[in-house]
Amino acid sequence: MNTRVIPIRPSGLILPSSTGLLSEPPVDTLGRNMRDLRISVTDRCNFRCSYCMPKTVFNRDFKFMPHDSLLSFEEIERVAKIFVDQGVQKIRITGGEPLLRKNIERLIEKLAQLPVELTMTTNASLLARKAQSLKDAGLQRVTVSLDALDDETFKKMNDMDFPVSDVLEGIAAAVAVGLGPVKINMVVKRGVNEHAILPMVRYFKGSGQIVRFIEYMDVGASNGWKMDEVMPSREIVELINAELPIEPANPNYRGEVAKRWKFKDGSGEVGVISSVTEAFCSSCTRLRLSPEGSIYTCLFAQRGNDIRTLLRGGSDDETITRVIQGVWQQRGDRYSEIRTADTAAAKKIEMSYIGG
């Protein structure tokens, strides 16, 4: 029987250098504020994408977290409020596949009361049936993972024989109820799905939805990442531009990870996310809350900081705030800027656990 490969619990909590609360939102050692919070609500997913949850590890013997280990919706709401007080302006619900979390609309309703942008990343397998209830609960927008438009390639990527048509139905439902513009994320793995780039661009061009191409990354410890399987985003841009002319567009906000490119004919835009070849660590404002209540300050982290113990141990909000401030103040993550063969091979937290 397989054992879990996910390092989840630190030996202790990082505390702030002072005993009092900071009068201003904290900044890290590189002068970065916290702006974006990603909340992973489950470590489970119904896909087995090779770059995230390969079947060789995440098979029927893999032990996922029991339900009582997960933060309750009330606990997530409490932590989210504290993060918002510390400067968070955007919350994204992730997983695993977040729509597998029972009654997820209840959490959306709670978080929708906060003064933040509230979004979700999903594989869209359940989106067609849930789009309206998510919108009614207060969700503002969705991002959908879709790695090809032809079934052969897509099924090879998701490894669960799931058809493209169901994902497209979910996207259409999201648009219809007002959860758009939908962003469609395509992970490009050389030798597997680069031929699907132009069909994806052609299909969504002029639709109002935005396709973003993501370089295959060395997330987690189980996807067998190799640098020669990375298709640099500059090549993707060149490929698109040769057929459908594009030009650079300004970022929507400081720290936006996707570089925007507008079609010269005014029919929309595409984006590229270049975590491997063009690191954007210097402007990263993200942190992540795991399903069982640890916070991580980098997608490529090897360990997190436990908050659940405080939540369930009677700590007040001020104590939890001091801990969060201390974690952020000591943050110095710049993994993509210092990536080497050795760091890429290091045992890191799985993306399915803390969200992409």
At 153 the three-state DSSP class reads helix
Domain spanning 36-354: CATH superfamily? Aldolase class I (3.20.20.70)
Give residue 299's pLDDT.
74
Question: pTM of the predicted model, to two decimals?
Answer: 0.88
Quick one: how many helices (H) and strands (E) in the chain? Answer: 12, 12
For the chain, strand residue ranges (E) read: 36-40, 90-94, 117-122, 141-145, 183-188, 210-215, 246-249, 259-263, 269-273, 286-289, 294-296, 305-306
* Cα pseudo-dihedral 208, 187, 94, 52, rounded to 10: 160
Give residue 197's pLDDT.
98
CA distances from 202 to 142, 184, 217, 303 (A): 21, 13, 25, 41
Give the containing element (helix H, strand E) for 107.
Answer: helix 104-111
Per-residue model confidence as pLDDT tens for the chain (356 residues): 333 334 333 434 444 444 568 878 899 989 999 999 999 999 999 998 888 788 888 888 888 889 999 999 999 999 999 999 999 999 999 999 999 999 999 999 999 999 999 999 999 999 999 999 999 999 999 999 999 999 999 999 898 989 999 999 999 999 999 999 999 999 999 999 999 999 999 999 999 999 999 998 766 566 666 788 899 999 999 999 999 999 999 988 776 788 999 999 999 999 999 888 877 677 788 899 999 999 998 876 777 899 999 999 999 999 999 999 999 998 877 656 565 555 545 565 676 667 76
CA distances from 14 to 81, 306, 314, 327 (A): 20, 9, 18, 6
In angstroms, the CA 331 to CA 10 distance is 15
Residue corresponding to tokens 């962003």: 183
Give residue 270's pLDDT.
98
In angstroms, the CA 195 to CA 192 distance is 8
Give residue 34's pLDDT.
93
Q: Is the dihedral of CA 245, 248, 266, 90 positive or negative?
A: positive
Amino acid identity for residue 4 in this structure: R
Give residue 9's pLDDT.
38
What residue segments make up the domains of the chain, in order of their start? 36-354
CA-based nearest residue to 154, from 181, 121, 187, 198: 187
272 DSSP β-pair partners: 213, 259
CA distances from 42 to 68, 104, 144, 352 (A): 12, 10, 17, 8
CA-based nearest residue to 261, from 280, 293, 236: 236
In angstroms, the CA 92 to CA 37 distance is 6
Strand 286-289 versus strand 36-40 pairing type: parallel
